[in-house]
Amino acid sequence: MRVFIEGRGWKRNQVAKEMPRVVDRYLEVHPVPKGEKKPLEIIVGSTLSRWVNKGHSKPAPRATFNAIVLTVLHLEWEASGKPGTPPDLRDVARHWNEWHSRLKTTSGSPIPSSETARPPAETIVQIDLSDAVHVRLSKAYGSAGASLLQATRDSDVSAALDLGLLRFLDGHRAEGESFLQQAQTGGSREAAALLDSEDPSEVRAATAARLAFDRAVRLDGDSHNGERKVLLLERAAHAKIRSAIGMLADHFESLGETGSAARWRLLADQER
């Protein structure tokens, strides 16, 4: 859920703040018949932060999931200025099915055959649940995280560098530096420069974000590198690198996700 919220350009406190308004409005338009359970459950910001930060391996209660995703989709719809009706629970259900597909795949179950399953080129790597690092990175970055870790273990210097940057920029400094050290051992000058830097932590973070952007620009957008590229761009964009923000907006626009694109374009305008 953290990736879903922040990857679309929102902050958790924004989502928590707007959730009561969005949910109340939805239930006014779509009242729940007497005796039936409400399909949406509002949660406060502290609860959302705790739940997201724990990185649950089990799905959220359906009503909680519905409220979070509906709020994000509604905010995107408002930001886009798109006419017509706002998102509803049918749109939310698509994301629920996609999430279950990912969870079943990472637990070793087959991907369900449905229109919401990922295409073969993006199939999530099967993982060994006894491998804590593999599980953790798969939860954080999906199939791209699993692939990056496997490539790193196969002595791929480029993968080790990118994985190190992702963990470093996500606040997992020790783990990030461990991957960067592997990249340095393999001959990466970028990793060596970042590790050897004696700059303050905020300067090192800015340097890492610029490097993440440079790395993303070098990657093509095919199915193999697409997710990896977006992950790096997101970290650079959250560090307010304007070019990264613009590229993310273009990416979401190409996918037809106008709300996300509008959100990132607004942020790009604010950084001018």
Residue bearing the bigger pLDDT, 163 or 251: 163
DSSP 111: P
Amino acid letter for position 96? W
- Supply the pLDDT for residue 119: 35
pLDDT beyond 60 at 240 = yes
Percent of the chain with pLDDT over 70: 76
User: How far is C-alpha 257 from the chain's CA centre?
Assistant: 15
Write down the pLDDT at residue 188: 93
Least trusted range by pLDDT, from 16-30, 101-115, 158-172, 231-245: 101-115
At 187 the three-state DSSP class reads coil
Return the minimum-mean-pLDDT range out of 9-23, 51-65, 156-170: 51-65
The per-residue pLDDT for 243 is: 92
* Predicted confidence (pLDDT) at residue 148 exceeds the cutoff of 80: yes
Report if pTM > 0.85: no
- State the average pLDDT over residues 173-186: 91
Q: Please compute the mean of the pLDDT values over residues 81-96 and round it to a whole number.
A: 81
User: Given CA atoms 70, 84, 117, 122 in this order, what sign does their dihedral have?
Assistant: negative
pLDDT of 51 reads 56
pLDDT of residue 203: 93
pLDDT tops 80 at residue 160: yes
Domain ranges within the chain, ordered by starting residue: 1-117
pLDDT computed for residue 52 by the predictor: 56
Residue 256: DSSP 8-state: T
**Is the separation of the CB atoms in 195 and 180 below 8 Å?**
yes
The whole-angstrom separation of Cα 215 and Cα 29 is 46
CA distance linking residue 19 with residue 45, whole number of Å:
10
Q: Given this model, what pLDDT does residue 14 score?
A: 84
Confidence bin at 3 (pLDDT 50/70/90): low
**Band (168; pLDDT cuts 50, 70, 90):** very high
**pLDDT tens digit string along 186-231?**
999 999 999 999 899 899 999 999 999 999 999 875 556 788 999 9
**What is the CB neighbour count within 10 angstroms for residue 217?**
14
Judged by DSSP in three states, 54 sits in: helix
Name the residue with higher pLDDT: 44 or 47.
44
